[in-house]
Amino acid sequence: EVQLVESGGGLVQPGGSLRLSCAASGFTFSSYWMHWVRQAPGKGLVWVSRITSDGSSTGYADSVKGRFTISRDNAKNTLYLQMNSLRAEDTAVYYCSSVVTGIPGWGQGTLVTVSS
Amino acid sequence: DIVMTQSPDSLAVSLGERATINCKSSQSVSYSSNNKNYLGWYQQKPGQPPKLLIYWASTRESGVPDRFSGSGSATDFTLTISSLQAEDVAVYYCHQYYSTPWTFGQGTKVEIK
């Protein structure tokens, strides 16, 4: 069974940084692309970033490009999202996700609150 | 980017009645190589993560009640709840994972009439 467990969320001031982690198990992590998706309070789901299985290629939503960096450690079965220059509008629950054998799997999410 | 448009934004249905949610994509989300539609449906209740109900447009996820069904192909998709139960009150989203950026419908809020 695919399991994804996010961590690293919390309260951070505007302009600050935070690194999210997503621990994966139940599938061959190194074989699959991974994604981050976020959901602001009371709003819908928005794709943030993706990384290929070997980490050689990444992609970002325009709203986070240049501020966020996605990475992975296939030896540790862990996905990361380094978030810099955080803004109030980055406040959201952040989910990691992957499509394994055609089935989307999601974690429980970690809440990031950007506020002074 | 593929735009996903759900309709309606909200609907109120009597207990035991049918609820139908539509999702239209701005381009096909079907791969001709395997004839699969890369379209999922989720249910989300307050304070909870999205729960996958349907993948490949019409395949019910394990453990999901059979009153939930998905249909459609290419650009037009439907989620049907055949007999609405009280526990089905939630927001429902469609999601295309055919290409990145992934995109989602805006959500449909289902309530009891």
**pLDDT 10s per residue in chain A (116 long)?**
999 999 999 999 999 999 999 999 999 999 999 999 999 999 999 999 999 999 999 999 999 999 999 999 999 999 999 999 999 999 999 999 999 999 999 999 999 999 99
Give the up-direction half-sphere exposure of residue B3: CA atoms within 13 A in the CB hemisphere.
Answer: 2
- For residue A90, how far is the Cα from the chain centroid? 12
- Measure the CA–CA gap between B7 and B106, rounded to whole angstroms: 9
Asked if A33 contacts A104 with a C-beta cutoff of 8 angstroms, the reply is: no
User: Are B52 and A59 a contacting pair at CB < 8 A?
Assistant: no
Written as six digits, the tokens of B75 are 């650009």
Q: Tell me which residue in A61, A93, A104 faces B95 most closely, judged by beta carbons.
A: A104
Q: What's B29's DSSP letter? A: -
Q: Tell me which residue in A37, A59, A104 faces B40 most closely, judged by beta carbons.
A: A104
Q: Is the CB of A44 inside 8 Å of chain B's CB atoms?
A: yes
Q: Tell me which residue in B49, B97, B101 faces A61 most closely, judged by beta carbons.
A: B101
pLDDT tens-digit map of B86-107: 999 999 999 999 999 999 999 9
Alpha helices by DSSP H, listed for chain B, are none
Written as six digits, the tokens of B57 are 């447009």
Alpha-carbon distance values, B110 to A2, A59, A109, B18, B104 (Å): 28, 34, 23, 11, 17
Q: What's A14's DSSP letter? A: T
User: Are B97 and A108 a contacting pair at CB < 8 A?
Assistant: no
Task: Determine the residue type at A91.
Answer: T
